[in-house]
A and B are shown apart, each in its own frame.
Chain A
């Protein structure tokens, strides 16, 4: 159980275009989803936290107008990288948390990640 999927797995786009990444919880309802980015050989940096039906909370330094997050349902969150530039090339990983009870309070289930390359 507790499977999170991401689509696409990898994407190459041209500078100036927008890219949408989907994150889905397949067998549970995710009340909270998180979006991270990870540069090669570096740690995961939290970009934003999204709760279903409300606006995402962005971490300091993350441009909310550039990284649009929508958490429209309990099983789907999307991250749209608008007007992408080469410096946005990274590994984007989502994670989801189940209803806040017991172990699921602290355990996050990670998607397989999306590798974005902007040319």
Chain B
């Protein structure tokens, strides 16, 4: 089976840096994605790591270590609008196609 573990909640101060960790156990693993979801909305793509290392996209960075089955999402210069749920998702082979399996999500609360 596929499973991903991430903290359920994180609180951070506006302007600070926060790291959301994700560990996974996945067969047929290709890479790790991160998605943001605001309450009542659809998930939006943030990043994808296929190789070990750090990928940076503006204020967001994502890291993957395939040997440790571990990744994290780093959010810098936090803004109030960053308050949302963040899901790590493993991209892997599935029934006839590539699939995403999502973690349970981390609810990030940014406080003034």
Contacts of A109 in B (CB 8 A): 45
CA distance in complex: A100, B48 (Å): 15
B residues within 8 Å of A by Cβ?
Answer: 30-31, 33, 35, 40-45, 48, 50, 87, 91, 94-105, 107
Chain A residues with CB under 8 Å of chain B are 32, 34, 41-46, 49, 51, 57, 59, 93, 95, 97, 100, 103, 105-113
Rounded to whole Å, the gap between the CB of A111 and the closest CB of chain B is 6
Report yes or no: A44 in contact with B98, Cβ–Cβ below 8 A. no
Asked if B41 contacts A113 (CB within 8 A), the reply is: yes
Contacts known (A34-B99, A106-B50); A93 close to B87, Cβ less than 8 A: no
**B41→A51 contact, CB < 8 A:** no
16 CB contacts below 8 A, A to B, read A41-B107, A43-B87, A43-B102, A43-B103, A44-B43, A44-B102, A45-B102, A46-B99, A51-B96, A57-B97, A106-B33, A109-B45, A110-B35, A110-B43, A111-B42, A113-B40
Asked whether B42 lies within 8 Å of A43 as measured between CB atoms, the reply is no
| Cβ–Cβ < 8 Å partners of A111 in chain B | 42
- In the bound complex, do residue A46 and residue B41 qualify as a contact, i.e. CB atoms below 8 Å apart? no
In the complex, the answer to whether B44 meets A49 with C-beta atoms within 8 Å is no
Assess the A43–B105 pair: CB atoms within 8 A. yes
CB of A49 within 8 A of CB of B97, answer: yes
* A93 and B89 alpha carbons, distance in the complex (Å): 15
Whether A44 and B87, one on each chain, are in contact in the complex, defined by CB atoms closer than 8 angstroms, is yes
Q: A49-B99, A106-B91 are in contact. List 20 more A-B contacts (CB 8 A).
A: A32-B97, A42-B104, A44-B102, A46-B99, A49-B94, A49-B96, A51-B96, A57-B97, A59-B95, A106-B30, A106-B31, A106-B33, A106-B98, A108-B45, A108-B100, A110-B42, A110-B43, A110-B44, A111-B42, A113-B41
